[in-house]
Amino acid sequence: MHISYFGAPNTYTYHVTQQTFPEAQLHACTFAPDVLSAIALEKTDFGVLPFENLYNGKVMFSIDALLHEGGSRVQIIDELILPIRHCVGGVSQPIFEIRSQQQALEQCIHWIRATYPEVRIATALNTAIAAREIGIQGLEGIAAIASEEALLDAGLKVYHRDILPNNMTRFALLQRREESTPPVGDASSIRTALGIYLARDAPGALHAITGPLAQAEINMFQIDSRPNGQKGYCFFTEVAGSCYTRPLSTVLGAIRDRLKTSGSELKVLGCYQSNGWTL
């Protein structure tokens, strides 16, 4: 089995992928669209992307990749959850600069400002690379925020452990659309991810899609808007229920019928069991 994942060895996405598929061959991808392309082109069987963090919400580069794909070749088939234990390490103290991936820095910014109020902050491609660069170059006074495994693998000293307690991230497990099957298990914990693509910006355009969901008493967990590159917006949302069964399947069919003449589109990006932040 071959699995593409976002990041590099010893990133959090690597850890959740390796823990879930300990016998698989893992293929690191620098960018989220590369994970989807590897699956679509049958270079890998599955893919894993960071999806949402408990503290700072959706991982937008993953959402953008999923919206661009539009569920045409690759879909979300499951959710993985990993406790995120951010640690701080470096070559030497005192610390003048802290480096990490953007999301990790955003999650830890209050701790950073409370603990090292004068420290410089710099971004890195991912948490593991931040640690590795410091170790390889022997950068004194510069620390990385990463997993303890990433810090130790880079030869760094660990100064602080688990600086953001109870943190966790949801990850999307992806598969080729033609190979995906309806999720099984507790129907009350199934979610469907939807991409909403509006043909034009007009009053009530979004409500034409979200209104029928509310009328059918289908819960929408959240909605995120993203620029579509054409001076408009597309939207990502997760709703309760399976797109394969009623009542959601019926409502989605009715919405699509309503949109036929408008040029707007509603696409299913995946259907999966969601643990709702429960490990």
CATH of the domain at 233: 3.30.70.260
Alpha-helical (H) ranges within the chain are: 12-20, 32-40, 60-69, 102-115, 127-137, 148-153, 207-215, 248-259
Distance CA 39, CA 16 (A): 18
Which residue in 17, 47, 45 sits closest to 31, CA to CA?
A: 47
Phi then psi dihedrals of residue 83, to 5 deg: -65, 135
Other CB atoms within 10 A of residue 104 CB: 28
Residue with token string 């959706």: 58
Q: Would you say residue 122 lies in a domain?
A: yes
Same domain, 97 and 57: no
Instruction: Give the range of the structural domain holding residue 57, as residue numbers without chain letter.
Output: 2-83+168-176
Same domain, 123 and 221: no
Same domain, 17 and 138: no
Same domain, 94 and 134: yes
Which residue in 40, 17, 11, 36 sits closest to 179, CA to CA?
A: 40
Distance CA 247, CA 258 (A): 17
Q: Would you say residue 278 lies in a domain?
A: no
Same domain, 76 and 172: yes
Same domain, 245 and 205: yes
This prediction has a pTM of 0.95
The domain boundary, picked from 142, 176, 210, lies at: 176
Query: What pLDDT was estimated at residue 258?
Result: 87
Same domain, 77 and 138: no
Query: What's the number of domains the chain is made of?
Result: 3
Distance CA 104, CA 16 (A): 16
Query: What pLDDT was estimated at residue 262?
Result: 85
Residue with token string 């996405």: 13
Same domain, 196 and 93: no
Q: Would you say residue 220 lies in a domain?
A: yes
Same domain, 78 and 11: yes
- Ranges under pLDDT 70 in the chain: 279
Same domain, 210 and 152: no
Distance CA 101, CA 214 (A): 37
Distance CA 79, CA 171 (A): 6
Distance CA 255, CA 252 (A): 5
Pairing status of strand 46-53 against strand 2-6: parallel
Greatest Cα pair distance, the chain, in angstroms, is 64
Distance CA 37, CA 47 (A): 10
Q: Would you say residue 91 lies in a domain?
A: yes
Same domain, 118 and 254: no
| Token reading at 131 | 């640690």
Q: Would you say residue 181 lies in a domain?
A: no
Same domain, 194 and 268: yes
